[in-house]
A and B are shown apart, each in its own frame.
Chain A
Amino acid sequence: MVKLATEADAALSSFYEEMRDKGAPRLRAAAWAAFSELGLPSRRVESWHYTDLKTAMSKPAPLATASHAALSLPRAHDSLRLITLDGVFRPDLSDIARLPDGVAVQSLRDALAQGELHVMSALASADIGAQDPTLALNSALMQDGVVVQIAPGAGIERTIELATVASAESAQSTYTRALVMLGEGAQATLIETLGAPLAAPSQDNSALVLRLAPKARVDLVTHLSGGVDRSIRVASLLVHLDAGATINSFALIEGEGLNRRQIFARLDGEKARAVFNGATLGRGRLHADTTLIVDHVKPDGQSREVFRNILDDESVGVFQGKVIVRPGAQKTDGAMQSKALLLSDQATMNNKPELEIFADDVQCGHGATCGRLDKDQLFYLSARGLPRREAEALLIEGFANETMEALEDEQLKTFLSERVSAWLSRRISR
């Protein structure tokens, strides 16, 4: 039995009682046992040192119940959209009918009920992120989500958007999980949209599991936005790369509230390649924690991480990056970089890059910097006629846009640049 030590424990325990028989009981039970052992992470847990989830989640909001809201989300790009709304996959709101050949979609709920072995083992992802309490909680409590299977060799032209949205007008908790499996040599572009357009302080725990067979490739853009001051969002990305597989990803994080994005990637085949880039636009009291573990298991892998935090007002940025190179992973090539730009005296950045290298023939490096706008650059722009705020905006935009250079999809690049511009024009106008 679980000790009912706190209000949070009691609430989470009742969520588990509600979800334990909703498919995959053994997976849930194991995850719940792991979570019960770990508990909600406080700052004493090293990997959560800069984000005090235990205090923030002292009063879990009620578990979301299926709504039938017909939410109209603005379409920012020409994508095929799969919507999970308030914890439930909504085929009626999604572009199911327009899916191309080679793409099979079902709800997580159905997938759990059917219990197909390869889907279940991919979902469980037992080999990565197992020590994280919030991921364990997600496994124990996952309500619904979407499972996408892309056939071997399929090259999917249209972007597939996985939108996980909270729309309730009162506070709620959601636990969602999406799984995308790419067959050998398959190729797809994904957008992961995590947002809460309404003003309720929701508590959302989502996970996206990507499983790439040999030589598969995913281009992924994550856009995390919305939220209010007291909302909590934990978004996990689990990536499993087989030999010669590639992920090229970028995340734009904005909005409000407490946000934790964590990436667990395992390069489990030779010549796997991973790019995790991202930019955070911090304003108000946004707390944006990006924590990643990139685990090189096999030889000749390559990983690149470039993260930039742009922090205004009282916002807080966190970057914790750990690159692990296992004994067998010779010739690993890894480079990790985190740069922060502080736009106000009250903004805070916490940088913690780490390398754990157990192989002797590798090339790995990391760097972390934190600074203000460059006075010489500002003067140069002002001397050419740009007013102070415009000069600042141009420099900030440049700082953010550099992280997007690795993106190949022009439409996505434009979409992201427009988000950065919108954020900046709010800064100029106030």
Chain B
Amino acid sequence: MLEIRNLHVSVGEREILKGLTLSVKAGEVAAIMGPNGTGKSTLSYVISGREGYDITQGEILLNGENLLSFEPNERAAKGVFLAFQYPVEIPGVATMTFLKAAMNAQRRARGEEELATPEFMKRVKDAAASLGVSQDMLRRPLNSGFSGGEKKRMDILQMALLQPKLGILDETDSGLDIDALRVVADGVNALRSPDRAFLVITHYQRLLDYIKPDTVHVMAKGRIQRSGGPELALELEKHGYQEYLAEEAA
């Protein structure tokens, strides 16, 4: 489903991703683990199309189509969803207005009919109920005054409504207590399906106790250093990232 080949990305003069190659199959949950400052968030932003990154080499294919030639909104319509490490607050923009605009923009881009209001309301209500998103949160401006946990739940609610092909979770566990983490993880787990892939980016093993990965990839020095099964995460938990960083020093 997702094929990243020899990706080189710079910000200004500094090269951050240095020939990253990664393959994720449909239905797979792939964990990307690595020390801070190694380019994990850069990877998530580059896949979703944020400005400010120079892609000097390589390609990112989603179901065979190179994403790099598309705008962020076009990538979203093709099925890319980024759950943000820090979802932004947008005061003044009503949450429901935003949700409807986003769903219909994607539908239009795919040549589908826009959702009628009753159907839209029903979908939001169902998704909100399963994620513990209150009516009060839906009535407020988007993410405004939300706690960290509420923001993450709102992001997962959007993922549930937008039904992406590829869900990228960027340090979703940061700032969450165990209870909030469990709710968010349950929401993600409910969306696992044979035709959907996830990229779970995290520093800690903790999140992977709740979202069980199929594959684990160690990222350091701007590329994937090692890939393996879930046991690799446990190994990292025990030994840390030292061995991957030490290589760099050598």
Residue numbers of A with Cβ under 8 A of B are 374-377, 379-388, 390-391, 394-395, 397-402
Contacts and interface: CB of A to CB of B under 8 A. Distances in A.
B84 A380 contact: yes
B162 interface: yes
A386 B49 CA distance: 13
Interface in B139-165: 141, 158, 162
A390 B90 contact: no
A337 to B, nearest CB: 13
Contacts of A381: 90, 98, 102
B43 to A, nearest CB: 14
B172 interface: no
Contacts of A376: 88
14 contacts: A380-B84, A380-B88, A382-B71, A383-B82, A384-B73, A384-B98, A384-B102, A384-B105, A386-B73, A387-B73, A388-B73, A395-B93, A397-B92, A399-B92
A374 B76 CA distance: 20
Given A394-B97, A398-B93, A388 B88 contact: no
The 7 closest A-B pairs by CB, nearest first: A398-B92, A382-B72, A385-B106, A398-B93, A385-B76, A384-B102, A402-B92
B102 A385 contact: yes
A392 to B, nearest CB: 12
Contacts of B162: 384-385
Interface in B73-124: 73, 75-77, 80-82, 84, 87-88, 90-93, 97-98, 101-103, 105-106, 109
B71 A377 contact: no
Given A379-B50, A394-B98, A398-B141, A385 B73 contact: yes
Main SS of the interface on chain A?
Answer: helix
Contacts of A375: 51
A402 B75 CA distance: 31
A376 B49 CA distance: 13
B90 A386 contact: no
A400 B91 CA distance: 11
Nearest to A374: B88
B90 A385 contact: no
B48 interface: yes
Interface of B: 48-51, 71-73, 75-77, 80-82, 84, 87-88, 90-93, 97-98, 101-103, 105-106, 109, 141, 158, 162
A379 B41 CA distance: 14
B48 A383 contact: yes
Contacts of B105: 384-387, 390
B195 to A, nearest CB: 19
Contact of B76 (A384, A398, A399, A400): A384
Contacts of A382: 49, 71-73, 76
Contacts of B87: 380
B108 to A, nearest CB: 9
Contacts of A379: 50-51, 72
Contacts of B77: 385
A375 B90 CA distance: 12
A296 to B, nearest CB: 29
B69 to A, nearest CB: 15
A116 B106 CA distance: 65
Q: Which of A376, A377, A382, A390 has the most CB of B within 10 A?
A: A382
A385 B92 CA distance: 19
Contacts of B49: 382-383
A382 B84 CA distance: 13
B250 to A, nearest CB: 38
Given A383-B72, A394-B93, 19 more contacts: A374-B88, A380-B84, A380-B88, A381-B102, A382-B49, A382-B71, A383-B80, A384-B73, A384-B102, A384-B105, A385-B102, A385-B162, A386-B101, A394-B97, A394-B101, A395-B93, A398-B90, A400-B92, A402-B91
Contacts of A374: 88
Contacts of A391: 73
A386 B109 CA distance: 10
A401 to B, nearest CB: 5
B133 to A, nearest CB: 16
A384 B51 CA distance: 15
B73 A397 contact: no
B76 A383 contact: yes
Nearest to B102: A384
A376 B143 CA distance: 13
Given A384-B102, A385-B109, A398 B91 contact: yes
Contacts of B51: 375, 379
Contact of A397 (B72, B93, B158): B93
Nearest to A384: B102
A347 B50 CA distance: 26
A290 B91 CA distance: 24
B147 to A, nearest CB: 18
Contacts of B48: 383
A224 B141 CA distance: 28
A395 B72 contact: no
A390 B105 CA distance: 9
Contacts of A397: 92-93
B207 to A, nearest CB: 21
Contact of B71 (A388, A394, A395): A388
Nearest to A394: B93
B76 A390 contact: no
Q: Which of A377, A383, A385 has the most CB of B within 10 A?
A: A385
Contacts of B81: 383
Nearest to B80: A383
B158 to A, nearest CB: 6
Nearest to A379: B50
Contacts of B75: 383
A391 B51 CA distance: 15
A377 B88 contact: yes
A395 B50 CA distance: 18
Contacts of A386: 73, 101-102, 105
Contacts of B80: 383
